[in-house]
Structure 1
């Protein structure tokens, strides 16, 4: 599946990490040169500088062949423009847009090219599951074709894993740590990475339950 994500903030980078890590072709767009440079080597996605509200930028990113566009910028106006361009000009089959201000939710309809509007308060899992399950290619919580579960957990103040090195945790066989997100930035889950309170952990597994994952990190 070819995916274009507009906005390389916390949400956009997390979605790129999850979708890129499950074999999808992902392009992440953002106007901030510094942010793009910082993400270049840390994501399983192509990260580009550009304003996704400009048709040329979307075209260069491959919008004509995209299966899914996800608008996750912090501005509702931008998310609506991206959605409208994706649907009307590039005929993208599936467009998901984040609603930052609940008062604007009424605008996020198919009239503006939005197939599904997701409130800003919705968790990452809900947004990506909506985006991917609707495409019949991948599902976040149950990657049906691969039989893989994706589980998200956060290191809390009482978590035993806080202060521990990732490689020293007793992670059961069959569980793979796909990403560690710290302060909104995805990090490579290297064995020598010391986990901190507030870290968000994304785990892939064929067999593990949510309880088993929490037992490792909580």
Structure 2
């Protein structure tokens, strides 16, 4: 599957890393050239500099052959334009837009965006699940709901704290793709030790989320 991700913030970076870990072809579009250089050092040459809301940038990214376009910039207007252009000009089969203002979510759906992702909805979801201190968060569903990007915070009481990733028996079809440790963003290896306070980004099949939650938190 070829996925174009537009927006190199936290969500965009983690999403790109997770999809790459799962074997997909991914291209990340980011306006900030300094970020592009940093991401390419960490991920390989999978990031280009440009404005994803411009047709020329999407064309250069190969949108005509993309299976999915994901717009996760900080601006709802840009995310809408990106997804509509991907649909109408490049005939992309599936578009996913981050919605920063929940009031725009219904509008995005009316205008043909396949999936909307609202940060506020994440918070509501956390409250409904009564998860203390955002210990485990469902970030995003992918590929018609079969895959999910989740975030978990390692605490002093986590069963996996001070263990290396290679020592942990992760559920089948799951992978830890990134670790946020203070100001550092770590692409983990089997030797990477999990420490208290680490924010873990993992890719998992939806049916494995509960098992992964029990293991990490």
- Whether the aligned pair in 1 keeps the contact of 2:176 and 2:200 (CA below 8 Å) is no
Q: Which runs of no fewer than 5 residues in structure 1 stay unpaired?
A: 142-149
CA apart distance, 1:180 = 2.7
TM-score between the two structures when normalised by the length of structure 2:
0.76
- Whether the aligned pair in 1 keeps the contact of 2:30 and 2:49 (CA below 8 Å) is yes
Query: RMSD of aligned C-alpha atoms?
Result: 3.2
Matched, 1:66 2:66: yes
Counterpart of 1:172? 169
- Whether the aligned pair in 2 keeps the contact of 1:178 and 1:203 (CA below 8 Å) is yes
Bigger share in helix: 2
Distance 2:101 2:169 in 1: 41
Change (3 A) 1:208 1:153: same
Change (3 A) 1:44 1:154: farther
Deviates more, 1:19-28 or 1:61-70: 19-28
Aligned residues: 199
- Whether the aligned pair in 2 keeps the contact of 1:2 and 1:25 (CA below 8 Å) is yes
CA apart distance, 1:174 = 7.0
- Whether the aligned pair in 1 keeps the contact of 2:64 and 2:91 (CA below 8 Å) is yes
- Whether the aligned pair in 2 keeps the contact of 1:76 and 1:99 (CA below 8 Å) is yes
Question: Residue deviations 1:17-66, cap 9 Å, x none?
Answer: 22221111110111011212111132377111111011110000000111
Change (3 A) 1:184 1:5: farther
Q: Secondary structure at the match of 2:47?
A: strand
Matched, 1:84 2:75: no
CA apart distance, 1:69 = 0.5
